[in-house]
Amino acid sequence: MSQHPLVIAIDGTSASGKSTNAKLVARDLGYVYVDTGAMYRTLSWYCLQKKVDVNDEKAVATACRKWKTALECIDKKVRLTVDGYYPEKEIRTEAVTAAVSHVSAVPKVREWMKNKQRECIKFGNLVMEGRDIGSNVFPETDFKFYLDACPDERTKRRAAEGVKENVVMRDQRDSQRSTSPLMISLGAHVINNSKMTSAETSGLILAEIKKRLAQPRR
């Protein structure tokens, strides 16, 4: 086993299967699973609860600086609690989905989240999914993956979850934001899973990880 905890970074576009595949990979490897999108959603939920205008960058940054949070690892899953509470169901509503692309674009929020996400290493080996893990949060990791699928397929996946989301507009916002934009990080293994099952996608990721783990460490 490596002396330092390993981080498997799984980035990608909205509804590209990041969560499903990251969970499968983490389960197979026995690593801790981290959904960074849920952290941004938690802040978005908090802002909506506190009547903070999500289009007001300063107000959102202030809320992020002042809220009382803690990282917990339960059943090998990391979650960000607010005042001791984890809003598991609340962060999946349409209102939060609509707010999160605005909240996550705030530079001070991304800075805060990066520091909090890097803290997760205290829980051990990680499978961390998001939009800037390989490019910004853990750029030093040797295990970077980028998932994508065609917009039609991703829209269908969101609809199957009961969520309406304009994935093309979300991609545009994520890739054009000034701080840590959505991008394919250097050295990332790109997988387009438009016509693949989750088992096939996670199988590809696991095969690549195991191949690299078998190689002598530099």
CATH number at residue 183: 3.40.50.300
pLDDT means over runs of 10, the chain (218 residues) = 82 91 97 97 98 98 97 97 96 92 94 98 97 94 95 87 78 72 85 94 96 81
Is residue 166 situated within a structural domain? yes
Is residue 120 situated within a structural domain? yes
Q: How far apart are CA 80 and CA 86, in angstroms?
A: 7
Q: Residue 120 has what pLDDT? A: 98
Q: Residue 147 has what pLDDT? A: 96
Q: How many CB atoms lie within 10 A of CB 97?
A: 19
Is residue 2 situated within a structural domain? no
Q: Residue 1 has what pLDDT? A: 40
pTM to 2 decimals? 0.89
Is residue 80 situated within a structural domain? yes
Among left, alpha and beta (phi > 0; psi -120 to 50; other), residue 187 is left
3-class SS of residue 82: strand
Is residue 213 situated within a structural domain? no
Is residue 218 situated within a structural domain? no
**Sheet hosting strand 189-192, strand order edge to edge:** 69-74, 77-82, 32-35, 126-130, 7-12, 143-148, 189-192
Is residue 68 situated within a structural domain? yes
Q: Residue 83 has what pLDDT? A: 96
Joined tokens for residue 19: 């969560």
Structural domain total, the chain: 1
Range of the domain at 197: 7-208
Joined tokens for residue 204: 């590809």
Is residue 1 situated within a structural domain? no
